[in-house]
Amino acid sequence: MKITELAALRDQWVPIELETAPTPKMVRLFGETFVLWKASSGFHLSEAYCPHRGARLDCGTETGEGLMCPYHGWRFGEDGRATHIPQLDPGVPIPPRAVLKTYPVVLKYGVLWSCVGSPATGGPPGWHEADELGWRVQVDFFESWRSSAFRIIDNNLDQSHPAFVHQGTFGNPSRPLVPRYEIERTPTGFRTRIPQYVGGAGPQMGVDDESLTFDRIQEAELLAPLVTRIRLMYGNTAPDYSFYGSATPIDDEHSNYLRISALERDEREQPYSLFRAYSRRVVDEDRLVLETTNPDFPIEPTAEVHLRCDRNTLEYRRLLSRLAGRTGSARAVTA
Ligand code: FES
Ligand SMILES: [Fe+2]
């Protein structure tokens, strides 16, 4: 399934830009074009083309009172209704159809989120380590990848790729087996906890020594169809960290991948620059393979071969099948 074929995804909140981005700015979502703009009341997302004669509104001007079109100077307020039409004859009311379709924008974790459908939830998914534990939060990146958003999220859940994809960081091809694990269903998705034995990951815990090895538990959680949370838990042997990853569909073949990190300890014990440089190497290993993957992502559980270690990525397909209005109950081909 191509990402734009799953209409229910439009009802999800998706990250659209960093809060520091200059506006007005063109934003591509689900293969369509929008404009992100700022009024005195805050940010708004609107359809990109002026309802009068189709000028692109990211080339317009933010006046403080609204967004002014560059072509004939119509001005639109924060609800998208035209508030000023310079060519209107005196006494003539503003035509009721002079409206720019406009969507809500909220700020969370330093990122602007919007929903261009009927919001399925009250806002972007929460994040335990940031919201309840108050860990140090940093946006690692929000950048365009040539990959379906399904593939990026699937990769965040995938347990068997690190041994091969991450050989330059923490992966070890001589240890390809994944321990048995259970799926725990949550109100919005599911969660798994998997023991891992890894080398090389020291910099993420504030230790600039990649020869060390660690036992840890990886808790992977699907918070929303396109949002994951991964917590790496080291018990008392090293500081934990958590990352929140979301993939915003630009179109069927491109996504804006958002990564935000939460670190358990302070800057002295777990320096962010060390963490960030190492994490970037890990992520670039994922990117290399993800940009070769097929943008057509099978969501039918019977369409692919699944191994025991693929339980959570199979569960992801079932969840997407349900979202697409299918039963998701077909028996998988499990080897
Ligand atoms: S095209 Fe926008 S005001 Fe005419
Ligand atoms: Fe990976």
Note the Cα 322 to chain centre separation in Å.
20
> What value does the mean pLDDT take over residues 153-174?
95
> What value does the mean pLDDT take over residues 166-171?
93
Q: Of the CATH numbers 1.20.1050.10, 3.90.380.10, 3.30.2130.30, 3.30.1120.10, which one belongs to the domain with range 128-323?
A: 3.90.380.10
> What value does the mean pLDDT take over residues 296-307?
94
Helix (H) or strand (E) holding 196: strand 190-199
Note the Cα 96 to chain centre separation in Å.
36
pLDDT-based confidence at residue 202 (cuts at 50, 70, 90): confident
Residue 334 pLDDT more than 50? no
| pLDDT tens sequence across 58-89 | 999 999 889 999 999 999 999 999 999 999 99
| pLDDT tens sequence across 132-155 | 999 999 999 999 999 999 999 999
Cα(283)–Cα(275) distance, integer angstroms: 12
**What pLDDT does residue 297 have?**
97
Can you tell me which atom of ligand 1 is nearest the CA of 69?
2
Relative to the alpha carbon of 218, which ligand is closest?
2
Residue 209 pLDDT more than 60? yes
- Please provide the DSSP assignment of 29-96 as one string: ETTEEEEEEEETTEEEEEESB-TTT--BGGGSEE-SSSEEPTTT--EE-TTSBEEE-TTPPTTPPPPT
Q: Compute the distance from residue 85 Cα to the ligand 1 centre, in Å.
A: 9
Query: For all residues of the chain together, what is the average pLDDT?
Result: 94
Cα(105)–Cα(114) distance, integer angstroms: 5
Q: Compute the distance from residue 283 Cα to the ligand 2 centre, in Å.
A: 7
| pLDDT tens sequence across 228-270 | 999 999 998 899 999 999 999 999 999 999 999 999 999 999 9
Q: What percent of the chain has pLDDT over 70?
A: 97
208 burial level (CB within 10 Å; 0-12, 13-18, 19+): exposed
**What pLDDT does residue 264 have?**
97
| pLDDT tens sequence across 96-126 | 999 999 999 999 999 999 999 999 999 999 9
Note the Cα 112 to chain centre separation in Å.
11
Protein residue whose Cα sits closest to atom 1 of ligand 1: 53
Cα(104)–Cα(87) distance, integer angstroms: 29
**What pLDDT does residue 211 have?**
86
Cα(274)–Cα(268) distance, integer angstroms: 11
For the chain, give every domain's residue range. Answer: 3-114, 128-323
Which numeric CATH code is attached to 3-114?
A: 2.102.10.10
Amino acid in the structure at residue 35: V
For the Cβ of 72 lying below 6 angstroms from any atom of ligand 1, the answer is: yes
Lookup: tokens for 277? 């440089």
pLDDT-based confidence at residue 326 (cuts at 50, 70, 90): low
pTM of the model: 0.94
3-state secondary structure (DSSP) of residue 236: coil
The answer to whether 21 and 235 are in contact (CB under 8 A) is no
